[in-house]
Structure 1
Amino acid sequence: MENKLPAWDDLRVLLEVHRQGSFLEAGLQLGLSTSTVARRIGALEKDLGRALVHRTSRGALLEKEALELIALAENFEQALRAHRRDSGPSSPYAGRVRVSLPDGFMTAAAEAAARFRRWHPETHIEVISELRFVDLTAREADIGVRGGRSSSPVLIEKPMGDILPGLYASTEYLARALPSRFLGDGDYARQDFIVEDENPRGQGASQWLTQRGASRFPFRSNSLEARLHAAKCGMGLVLLGLGAEREHPELIRVGLATPLPGLRFYLTMHKDLRRVPRIRGVALALQEVFAEYFAAQAQVDARARRDNSRPKTR
């Protein structure tokens, strides 16, 4: 397999390791954790197919091949600085912002990115759907949207609102298994449910359903797209945020005797990043879009509570 060309971000890390003589000092200069520096060097070595740096008790020692890359990186760095001087003062919004969110929030994140870039097209926004909490303390992402709080003293968190879930199913499934389109507290054992994989923190929706007698989970997936398709194929009831019927008219919300509990989400970032203009701006755009979403969801919830005040029959 042909070796990949090295990325500038990785070359920049190698250059700083060469200048500082250790992964620790290079990380301090770049604002990265030692583990992130090691991971970047490992990625560079993998792309090139050979070892470049050896960590010893005396620091980091570079191979001869690495010194050739150092010369390349220094030439590129000088050219980049010259270009910036010729282009005049750079915008404080120029650069990349990396955002980590759960799968179901990708549309909202894209909307926030589009709004922000209308005013600041020099900002490049990278939105990542991840199944784990990225390490914001190690700067694996600049902004995280999380369904839970952190205990880290270096992170700041802002409550964004509560996701209010509902249960949805296809017309075919409801006609076959729940013609009343209403789920009483004693009905869960007789229904099929489509859920995510078990939440590693033990707080997933399947635990709430199990507490009410649910035991039939014919389909589990961490992919929202897969869960939606399974529900549309009639495999069972799926958990979605209230108002999902607007985007997925093939699915019908069922009435619930006991509403599902909401889950509070937080916008989280490293406290050292809150004054970086592009990161602060993207965070504000995310807050704006999510505020609109939560307001619309509250209206749907109010209607749902009125509709669920008595069982529905057909």
Structure 2
Amino acid sequence: MDWDKLRVFHAVAEAGSFTHAGETLNLSQSAVSRQISALEESLHVPLFHRHARGLILTEQGELLYRTAREVFAKLSMTEAMLSESKEHPKGPLKVTTTMAFGSTWLTPRVREFLSLYPDVQLSLLLDDTELDLSMREADIAIRMSAPRQPDLIQRHLMTVRVHIYAHRAYAEKRGLPQSLDELDHHDIIAYPGETRAPVSNINWLLHVGDPPGGERQTVLRVNSLYAMYRAVESGLGIASLPDYVVDGNPDIVRVLPDVSGPRIDAYFVYAEELRHSKRIAVFRDFLVRKVQETFPASHAVGA
């Protein structure tokens, strides 16, 4: 099977059109089309259904795409490992984590990491859904639950505490509840119940204290912990938030300080193939050190 044609096929399958694949490969649309036609002719099977709206893989195309995707993922991993010095970490490093953790805690610390390791080309992929590490959608994941895939290496990074928070402006306008019963008369910000959340039991605040009807009413539901934080910051209402989200904001105060939500265990996760990567090691050690500095009394770091 011709390697150049396979590379073009992979790009077309990823892009969904000859034009977009050509832009990625720096080839003309007609050159891409000719390569695909030649590959189909050599294999004696059609790989794409051509439609006015774009290209759809045939059954045979899907089979070839799955194999090609795995091959290119392995090659990408090998290329990164070959380019990396044993003594000096260098090369691309893709890290994925949740929107809230990435936006509020991780991103502000990136500058220090890159000043220590300027030859690492860091990419942050913030997504509340889990990217596939085995297919190299990312090199490292910081996840708020233990990974389910057996072929991933995991290290317990920290235990996140969750509490109830409101902005000073809200407290001055509405006062703060002094008991769980008084929460029933306040503006609550929560996560949509029908949406898959980045952590389990995310809406515990709606149920704690046995409110009338079993669940408190909300003033806003939004499918992002970071957006919930910004809503609290605007003075809109009260929400349950991880402590790291509000860390360092003196205008956001803890409500009912003796009440805490479920603990969240965060894990540092990467593929088995990257076990000896210097980039993985220095990023892991950097995060462990930053966790210890930020949460000296409340975090828990595993071995």
TM over 0.5: yes
Residues 219-274 of structure 1 show CA distances to partners (whole Å, capped at 9, x for unaligned) of 22344553233223332102233376653222221124532121111111111112
- Check the 8 A contact 1:171/1:252 in 2, yes or no: yes
Which residue pairs with 1:99 in the alignment?
95
Give the Cα separation in 2 of the matches to 1:43 and 1:126. 26
Aligned counterpart, 1:291: 292
Query: Which amino acid in 2 is paired with 1:58?
Result: L
Q: Over aligned residue pairs, what C-alpha RMSD do you find?
A: 3.7
> What are the residue-to-residue correspondences of 1:262-273 with 2, within 5 Å?
262-273=263-274
Q: How much has 1:276 moved relative to structure 2?
A: 1.4
Asked if structure 2 preserves the Cα contact closer than 8 Å seen for 1:156 and 1:268, the reply is yes
Residues 90 and 185 (structure 1 numbering): CA distance in 2 closer, same or farther, change over 3 Å? closer
Match of 2:218, SS state, is: strand
Structure 1 partner of 2:138 = 141
Q: Does the Cα contact within 8 Å between 2:99 and 2:224 map onto a contact in 1?
A: yes
- Summarize deviations over 1:21-68 as a string: whole Å, max 9, x none: 758xx9xxxxxxx9x877545477525374543676938999xxxxxx
Q: Per the alignment, in what secondary structure is the counterpart of residue 138 of structure 1?
A: coil
Query: Residues 143-162 of structure 1: matches in 2 within 5 Å?
Result: 143-162=140-159
Aligned to 1:75: none
TM-score by length of 1: 0.64
Quote the offset at 1:97 in angstroms.
Answer: 0.2
Letter aligned with residue 43 of structure 2: R
Describe the shift of the 1:42–1:285 C-alpha distance in structure 2 as closer, same or farther (beyond 3 A). Answer: farther
- By how many angstroms is 1:209 displaced? 2.0
State the partner residue of 2:69: none
Please name the residue that 1:238 is paired with: 239
For the residue of structure 1 that corresponds to 2:260, the secondary structure is coil
- The verdict on how the C-alpha distance between 1:18 and 1:237 changes in structure 2, with shifts beyond 3 A counting, is farther
TM-score (norm 2): 0.66
Cα offset for 1:149?
Answer: 1.6
Displacement after TM superposition at 1:294 (Å): 3.0
Contact 2:100–2:245 at 8 Å: present in 1 too?
A: no
Judge conservation of contact 1:188–1:209 (CA < 8 Å) in 2. no
Query: Contact 1:193 / 1:218 at 8 angstroms: preserved in 2?
Result: yes
How far did residue 277 of structure 1 move? 1.3
Pick the aligned partner of 2:190 from 195, 218, 229: 195
The one-letter code sitting in structure 1 at the alignment partner of 2:184 is A
Structure 2 contact 184–216 (Cα < 8 Å) conserved: yes
Q: After TM superposition, list the pairs within 5 Å mapping 1:64-213 onto structure 2.
A: 91-92=85-86, 93-106=89-102, 107-110=104-107, 112-179=109-176, 181-182=177-178, 184-198=179-193, 200=196, 203-206=200-203, 208-212=204-208, 213=211
**How many Å apart are 1:90 and its aligned residue?**
6.7
Offset at residue 133 of structure 1 (A): 0.9
Contact residue 22 and residue 60 of structure 1 kept, 8 A = no
Q: Deviations over 1:88-114 (max 9, x none)?
A: x97352211000111222354235533
The 3 A distance-change label for structure 1 pair 98 and 244 is closer
Partners of 2:139 and 2:111 in 1: how far apart?
Answer: 18
* CA apart distance, 1:186: 2.8
Contact 1:197–1:220, Cα closer than 8 Å, also in 2: yes
Q: What is the SS of the residue equivalent to 1:187? A: helix
Segment drifting more, 277-286 vs 111-120 = 111-120
- For residues 107 and 235 of structure 2, what CA distance do their matches in structure 1 show? 30
Matched-pair identity in %:
21
Aligned length: 245
CA contact (8 A) 1:131 1:222 kept: no
- 1:98–1:224 Cα change, 3 Å: same
The residue identity in structure 2 corresponding to 1:97 is: L
In 1: Cα distance, 2:118 partner to 2:44 partner: 41
d(CA) in 1 for partners of 2:175 and 2:180? 14
Distance verdict in 2 for CA 1:46–1:21, change over 3 Å: closer
When structure 1 is superposed on structure 2, of 195-204 and 274-283 the one drifting more is 195-204
1:46 aligns with one of 10, 15, 20: 20
Report the Cα distance in structure 2 between the residues aligned to 1:243 and 1:21, rounded to whole angstroms.
48
Indicate conservation of the 8 Å contact 1:193/1:237, yes or no.
yes
Q: Distance in 1 between matches of 2:105 and 2:2?
A: 41
Unaligned segments of structure 2, at least 5 residues = 24-28, 48-82
Does the 8 A contact of 1:243 with 1:297 survive in 2?
no
Matched with 2:262 is 261
Equivalences for residues 15-54 of structure 1 within 5 A:
18-19=2-3, 40=14, 42=16, 45-48=19-22, 50=29, 52=33, 53=36
**What is the distance in 1 between the residues matched to 2:132 and 2:109?**
22
| 1:240 aligned partner, one-letter code | L
Structure 1 residues 270 and 243, CA gap change in structure 2 (3 angstroms): closer
